[in-house]
Amino acid sequence: MQFQSLRVQQVKSSPSMAVSVLAKQMAAAGEPVINLSLGEPDFSTPAHVIDAAHQAMLAGHFRYTAPNGYPELRQAIVNKFKRDNHLDYSADEICIGNGAKQILFNAFLATIEPGDEVITPAPYWVSYTDMVLLNGGVPKVLPCGTEQGFKLLPEQLEAAITPKTRWVMLNTPNNPTGVIYSKAELAALGVVLERYPNVLILSDEIYEHIILGDVPFVSFVEACPQLRERTLVVNGVSKSYAMTGFRLGFAAGPKGLIAAINKMQSQTTTCPSAVSQMAALAALNGPQDFVETATKEYETRGKMVIQALSEIDGLELEMPQGAFYAFPKCAGFIGKKTPQGDVIQNDADLSSYLLKIGKVATVPGVAFGIEPYIRLSFATSQQELQQALNQLRDALAALV
Is 242 within a domain?
yes
CATH of the domain at 325: 3.90.1150.10
Domain C-terminal end among 285, 313, 340: 285
Question: Is residue 133 within 8 Å of residue 141, measured between CB atoms?
Answer: no
Whole-model pTM: value is: 0.95
Within this chain, do residues 89 and 219 fall inside the same structural domain, yes or no? yes
Within this chain, do residues 393 and 369 fall inside the same structural domain, yes or no? yes
In a 10 Å sphere around its CB, with 0-12 CB exposed, 13-18 middle and 19+ buried, how is residue 95 labelled?
A: buried
pLDDT value of residue 299: 97
pLDDT value of residue 371: 96
Within this chain, do residues 276 and 304 fall inside the same structural domain, yes or no? no
pLDDT value of residue 25: 86
Within this chain, do residues 194 and 244 fall inside the same structural domain, yes or no? yes
Q: Edge to edge, what strands does the sheet with 363-364 contain? A: 325-326, 374-377, 363-364
Question: Is residue 373 within 8 Å of residue 123, measured between CB atoms?
Answer: yes
pLDDT value of residue 316: 95
Question: Is residue 363 within 8 Å of residue 375, measured between CB atoms?
Answer: yes
Domain C-terminal end among 260, 285, 310: 285
Is 54 within a domain?
yes
Is 1 within a domain?
no
Within this chain, do residues 369 and 278 fall inside the same structural domain, yes or no? no
Within this chain, do residues 35 and 52 fall inside the same structural domain, yes or no? no
CATH of the domain at 253: 3.40.640.10
At 176, the amino acid letter reads P
Alpha-carbon span 235 to 212, nearest angstrom: 18
Is 34 within a domain?
yes
11, 23, 25, 360 from 31: Cα distances, Å: 30, 9, 9, 11
pLDDT value of residue 14: 67
- Alpha-carbon Rg for the chain, nearest whole angstrom, is 21
Question: Is residue 298 within 8 Å of residue 207, measured between CB atoms?
Answer: no
Please, which residues have CB within 8 angstroms of residue 165's CB and are 6 or more apart in sequence? Answer: 116, 117, 118, 119, 140, 196, 198, 199
pLDDT value of residue 22: 79
Alpha-carbon span 65 to 355, nearest angstrom: 43
Number of domains in the chain: 2
Alpha-carbon span 266 to 274, nearest angstrom: 14
Is 379 within a domain?
yes
Rounded (10°) angle between helices 100-111 and 255-266: 100
Domain C-terminal end among 285, 317, 336: 285
Within this chain, do residues 249 and 175 fall inside the same structural domain, yes or no? yes
Within this chain, do residues 11 and 68 fall inside the same structural domain, yes or no? no
For residue 34, the surrounding DSSP H or E stretch is strand 34-35
Using 50 as the pLDDT threshold, list the residues of the chain that sit under it. Answer: none
Expressed as residue numbers, the domain containing 382 is 6-44+290-397
Alpha-carbon span 115 to 164, nearest angstrom: 7
Within this chain, do residues 279 and 208 fall inside the same structural domain, yes or no? yes
**In this structure, what DSSP letter does residue 216 have?**
P
b/e map 345-367, b = 16+ CB within 10 Å: ebbbbbbbbbbebbbbbbbbbbb
Within this chain, do residues 321 and 204 fall inside the same structural domain, yes or no? no
Within this chain, do residues 35 and 85 fall inside the same structural domain, yes or no? no
Within this chain, do residues 86 and 136 fall inside the same structural domain, yes or no? yes
Alpha-carbon span 321 to 262, nearest angstrom: 34
